[in-house]
A and B are shown apart, each in its own frame.
Chain A
Amino acid sequence: MSTHEVNVAVNGTPTATTVEARTLLVQLLRGPLGLTGTHVGCDTTNCGACTVLIDGEPVKSCTVLAVQADGSEVTTVEGLADGEQLAPVQEGFRQCHGLQCGFCTPGVLTTAAALLEQTPDPDEAQIRDYLDGCMCRCTGYQMIVDSVRWAAEHPADEEVAS
């Protein structure tokens, strides 16, 4: 199996890793890069737990080869907060009980962050439609929708009450 050097800026930090050609992006993130927030819940690109942002677009990192991400900027759940300051979407999930076990949550959060970037004030149908690629077995989705709405109503520049 051939090996390749992959250069990816992950959460703003440049990285260079030598990987086997068959290495998936999620394996690179969870393994050599030690970012275990991104999870794997299936092997057919259905569950969305592994969703990360590649150059701002939500992508299922179990279905991208690490070499395909070479030269790109990747944002994982670990990169959503600004230091100690949670992103609005993270705070929304806390305020509105948008998570239970938390296993799918990293993928839902990154997807929702991308939605809010593209559509800052989405309605319920837009939120449900955009999150179609994320399976959550715990919440029944309603509180996830409410969490995203909370984030839309509390953008980053506003003071967040804890």
Chain B
Amino acid sequence: MGLIGSPVVRKEDHRLITGQGTFTDDLVGPGTAVMRYVLSPHPHARVTAIDPAPALALDGVIAVHTVEDFGDYPDLPGPEPAARPVLARDRVRFHGEPVAVVLARSASIAADAIEAVEVTYEPLPAVPTLAEALAPDAVQLHELLPGNRLMDVPVDGDIEEALAAAPHRAELHLVNNRCAPTAIEPMTVLADWTGARLELHASFQAPHHLRNYLTEWLGIPQSHCRIVAPDVGGGFGSKIQWYPELFIAPLLSRWHGVAVRSVLTRSEALKLMYHGRAQEQDIEVGFDDEGRIHALKMLVTQDLGGYADVTGAGLPVLTTWMAAGCYRIPHVATGFRHVFTTTSPVSSYRGAGRPEATYAIERTIDLVADLTGVDAAEVRMRNFIPPDAFPFAQNTHEAVVYDSGDFPAALTKLLELMDYDTLKAEQAERREDPDAPLLGIGFSTWLEIAGFGPNGSLEGFGHLASWESVNLRILPDGTALVTSGTSPHGQGHQTMLAQIASDVLGIEVEAITVRHGDTDTVQQGTGTFGSRSVSTAGVGLHRAATAVAERARRIAAHLLEADPDAIVLSDGRFHRQADDEASVGWAEVATASFQPLQLPEGTPAGTLEEQVYQESPNFTYPSGAYGCVVEVDRDTGQVQVRSYVAVDDCGAVINPLIADGQVHGGMTQGIAQALYEHVRYDDDGHLLTETLEDYLVPTAPDIPRFVTGRADTPTPNNELGAKGIGESGAVGSPPAVVNAVIDTLSHLGVRALDMPVTPERVWTALNEAKAAR
């Protein structure tokens, strides 16, 4: 007991550090055939002919299929009428869209075969940018959706009056750069439908969700399908999309009587796994001389790519909900529009809509600071929602009610940890010394919406429901088995859930087995995303353990011939009363629970098991204050992150080791978005960042050592007080970095720089600003 909050070393690790992990491609059996796509070299084209004959002539090629062969099946699940066909139908809408699929006896034969398929294209004009896609005469990607738009929600006109009434007014156009989530394990599928049941292993974040959709698509009973997400090599939101191989591989296995393996190469994954962010924002802010914000207007333009993904379409909804961040702004109005471009589809990437919102409001706050001359930390303090205002109904949307937080305390702690006053003095000295690198200090006091679990919150994203399912059973020897519907890909759920159960039951962490990711053994599940696992599955398990402990107490009382209300559960033993030597352990109680002759009259066998479908009464709102210090080389524009401090409020922490790891990883992705990563297309719509040579995932020398602190305010939404931590670092970090870089140049009048803030962009801004003076 007392395990909640302890830095327990992970249960997961031993297998993974000894090479005994079971990632999907580690499970390939002999005789498994290899599936590969034939990819379009054009971003936009008509497909006029596909000749599979040269490929079929190769020894070892089993089959070549095109979209016509899947005529008995619907398009992939997605918003109509822009849903994606399983393979390109007549027309390709992004560079790399698969036009045919090859099945071969080996990977090398498959590699030869995809080169041999002859495809004839008639190229069409590409519209790789939002501006081109929105132009009045732009080529149309989906005939039924004129203007390349899926949905328009205009900004509420009422805001104009409030903006006009504010003493000052400013505009900002922001680009949230397109990123590739880049889990190191690319998307991998292993399908075996050679027997009566389909068995599918996949690197996926939500196996039951996949089961629900795949069985409907195939027209088979759910009981005839087993989905397993074994070890999954990272996800970050990119392994929950309806990638065609999830649907094609089972059919190829069925049709050709072989197990089928699909492993994307990295250059395929950079085209075919959905991208994130890809959003632009037009902001107007009204404020006064003291830096108080009176009104905020934001129009979000979301790039959907060539086809609409349901989560991708939801991104700007979350961005608009979170538009006001952790501030009390009297007037807020938002709107959004979805735009199709000839690019890879866009969907969730760690934070999904909230990093975009955070970037918008935190850049806006710094602009107000620069324009008023009020210190950037002070502007934040003046606009924060005060700690006594919770629950706080934010005026962006009726669903948005912040649960808890103490934003001034988090920022105050950050300023102490950074030694802000000393930094400001150093910055002033550096500006006077032409030989010294410029110093910049950037803040992000951010807040996100997490804990996706309230009824209705996930149904709109196509999920069966929003609960999470967890089951706890005590085995006859007094050890415990937990099955959880959240299925991790690095988040350490086996350890986290075992800690929660152990904390209630007093059973050792080592004696609690946690299973997940298998639709045959886990009752139901929703999945791991949206920083939801602790506040749904964790809370559900806490309730299950509490219920089981209470039933066990009654059995123990019967065994001890004692009063159930006097029984004390301590260190895994049930004592007749406090400080009483007479006691029974979990093994005796568990054994008795299965033996009717040992049970109190009326108690059936097998009661030490509990299943919970855990919803949440409200979202949780993790928040934090991040500070970044950068140095900029005046001659090259090179940015070096000198220090990075993060103060987080995720409510209660279950395992500080795991929580810090989540924050570190998220901050690294956020710093990378700000400085390095950018999925780029050329003017003709061809992907330029096709490999990890061009798409700059940072490595160890690129990333600083972090300083972390906590300013936790437990959420009142659940008895654990936990808000979630999985996305925090990625949500909060990009504006901290960009604000710091702009701060190096703000004395020269520089007010904006776009991500990624490359040396070229910084150098150009520096030199243009100097030339203008």
A105–B266 Cα distance when bound, in Å, is 18
Highest count of chain B CB atoms <10 Å: which of A104, A105, A109, A124: A105
In the complex the two chains form, is B13's CB within 8 Å of A141's CB? no
Q: Check if B136 is an interface residue, CB within 8 A of chain A.
A: no
Q: Check if A140 is an interface residue, CB within 8 A of chain B.
A: yes
B-to-A contact residues, CB < 8 Å: 9-10, 12-21, 23, 25-26, 107-108, 182-186, 231-234, 236, 263, 265-267, 489-492, 657-658, 660-661, 664-669, 691-693, 697, 699-701, 703, 705-706, 729
In the complex the two chains form, is A81's CB within 8 Å of B18's CB? yes
The A interface, classified by DSSP as helix, strand, loop or mixed, is loop
A101–B494 Cα distance when bound, in Å, is 12
| A96 (CB) vs chain B CBs: closest residue | B657
CB distance from B672 to the nearest CB of A (A): 10
CB distance from B614 to the nearest CB of A (A): 24
Binary flags per residue of A110-151, CB closer than 8 Å to B gives 1, else 0: 000000000000001001110111111111111111000000
Among A30, A102, A134, contact of B12 (Cβ-Cβ < 8 Å): A102
In the complex the two chains form, is B700's CB within 8 Å of A128's CB? yes
In the complex the two chains form, is B18's CB within 8 Å of A141's CB? no
In the complex the two chains form, is A43's CB within 8 Å of B691's CB? yes
| A35 (CB) vs chain B CBs: closest residue | B19
In the complex the two chains form, is B231's CB within 8 Å of A43's CB? no
Among B18, B266, B706, contact of A41 (Cβ-Cβ < 8 Å): B266
In the complex the two chains form, is A103's CB within 8 Å of B184's CB? yes
A101–B660 Cα distance when bound, in Å, is 15
Q: Which of A53-61, A66-74, A87-95, A152-160 contacts B (4 or more CB under 8 A)?
A: A87-95
In the complex the two chains form, is B26's CB within 8 Å of A36's CB? yes
| A92 (CB) vs chain B CBs: closest residue | B17
In the complex the two chains form, is B692's CB within 8 Å of A105's CB? no
**Given A97-B10, A141-B668, A142-B705, do A135 and B17 touch, yes or no (CB 8 Å)?**
no
A26–B10 Cα distance when bound, in Å, is 28
Among A27, A43, A104, A141, contact of B184 (Cβ-Cβ < 8 Å): A104
- With A37-B18, A101-B184 given, name 13 new contacts (CB 8 A): A42-B692, A47-B697, A86-B17, A99-B13, A100-B234, A101-B231, A102-B231, A131-B700, A136-B184, A137-B183, A140-B666, A140-B668, A140-B706
Chain A interfacial residues counted at CB < 8 A = 57
A38–B232 Cα distance when bound, in Å, is 15
In the complex the two chains form, is A100's CB within 8 Å of B184's CB? no
Q: Please name all residues of chain B whose beta carbon is closer than 8 Å to the beta carbon of A133 when the two chains form the complex.
A: 699
Binary flags per residue of A10-30, CB closer than 8 Å to B gives 1, else 0: 000000000010100001001
In the complex the two chains form, is B19's CB within 8 Å of A38's CB? yes
In the complex the two chains form, is B265's CB within 8 Å of A43's CB? yes
In the complex the two chains form, is A135's CB within 8 Å of B699's CB? yes
A38–B699 Cα distance when bound, in Å, is 19
CB distance from B705 to the nearest CB of A (A): 6
A93–B182 Cα distance when bound, in Å, is 22
Q: How many A-B residue pairs have CB under 8 A?
A: 177
**Given A37-B18, A94-B17, A101-B232, do A135 and B697 touch, yes or no (CB 8 Å)?**
yes
Among A37, A128, A137, contact of B665 (Cβ-Cβ < 8 Å): A137
Q: Please name all residues of chain A whose beta carbon is closer than 8 Å to the beta carbon of B15 when the two chains form the complex.
A: 102
A106–B20 Cα distance when bound, in Å, is 10
A140–B730 Cα distance when bound, in Å, is 11
Closest 7 CB pairs of A and B: A37-B19, A103-B233, A102-B16, A101-B490, A140-B664, A100-B490, A140-B668
| A109 (CB) vs chain B CBs: closest residue | B17
In the complex the two chains form, is A42's CB within 8 Å of B691's CB? yes
CB distance from B470 to the nearest CB of A (A): 22
Q: Please name all residues of chain A whose beta carbon is closer than 8 Å to the beta carbon of B107 when the two chains form the complex.
A: 27
A11–B236 Cα distance when bound, in Å, is 34
Among A40, A102, A132, contact of B700 (Cβ-Cβ < 8 Å): A132
10 pairs across A/B with beta carbons < 8 Å?
A: A36-B26, A39-B23, A39-B185, A41-B186, A49-B184, A102-B231, A106-B19, A139-B661, A142-B664, A143-B664
Q: Please name all residues of chain B whose beta carbon is closer than 8 Å to the beta carbon of A124 when the two chains form the complex.
A: 705
| B13 (CB) vs chain A CBs: closest residue | A94
In the complex the two chains form, is A140's CB within 8 Å of B703's CB? yes
| A27 (CB) vs chain B CBs: closest residue | B107
Q: Please name all residues of chain B whose beta carbon is closer than 8 Å to the beta carbon of A135 when the two chains form the complex.
A: 184, 692, 697, 699
Q: Check if A76 is an interface residue, CB within 8 A of chain B.
A: yes
In the complex the two chains form, is B701's CB within 8 Å of A76's CB? no
In the complex the two chains form, is B108's CB within 8 Å of A22's CB? yes
Among B17, B21, B266, contact of A93 (Cβ-Cβ < 8 Å): B17
Q: Check if A44 is an interface residue, CB within 8 A of chain B.
A: yes
Q: Please name all residues of chain A whose beta carbon is closer than 8 Å to the beta carbon of B108 when the two chains form the complex.
A: 1, 20, 22
In the complex the two chains form, is A43's CB within 8 Å of B266's CB? yes
CB distance from B203 to the nearest CB of A (A): 9
Q: Check if A6 is an interface residue, CB within 8 A of chain B.
A: no
Q: Please name all residues of chain B whose beta carbon is closer than 8 Å to the beta carbon of A134 when the two chains form the complex.
A: 699-700
In the complex the two chains form, is A139's CB within 8 Å of B265's CB? no
In the complex the two chains form, is B692's CB within 8 Å of A77's CB? no
| B186 (CB) vs chain A CBs: closest residue | A41
CB distance from A91 to the nearest CB of B (A): 8
A130–B265 Cα distance when bound, in Å, is 26
Q: Please name all residues of chain B whose beta carbon is closer than 8 Å to the beta carbon of A46 when the two chains form the complex.
A: 691-693, 697
In the complex the two chains form, is A97's CB within 8 Å of B23's CB? no
**Given A102-B490, A135-B692, do A143 and B661 touch, yes or no (CB 8 Å)?**
yes
Among B263, B661, B691, contact of A100 (Cβ-Cβ < 8 Å): B661
A42–B20 Cα distance when bound, in Å, is 21
**Given A42-B691, A81-B18, do A101 and B183 touch, yes or no (CB 8 Å)?**
yes
Q: Please name all residues of chain B whose beta carbon is closer than 8 Å to the beta carbon of A36 when the two chains form the complex.
A: 19, 21, 23, 25-26
Q: Please name all residues of chain B whose beta carbon is closer than 8 Å to the beta carbon of A20 when the two chains form the complex.
A: 108
Highest count of chain A CB atoms <10 Å: which of B9, B15, B19: B19
Among B13, B658, B666, B693, contact of A44 (Cβ-Cβ < 8 Å): B693
CB distance from B231 to the nearest CB of A (A): 7
| A49 (CB) vs chain B CBs: closest residue | B184
| B183 (CB) vs chain A CBs: closest residue | A137
**Given A41-B266, A94-B13, A133-B699, do A77 and B184 touch, yes or no (CB 8 Å)?**
no
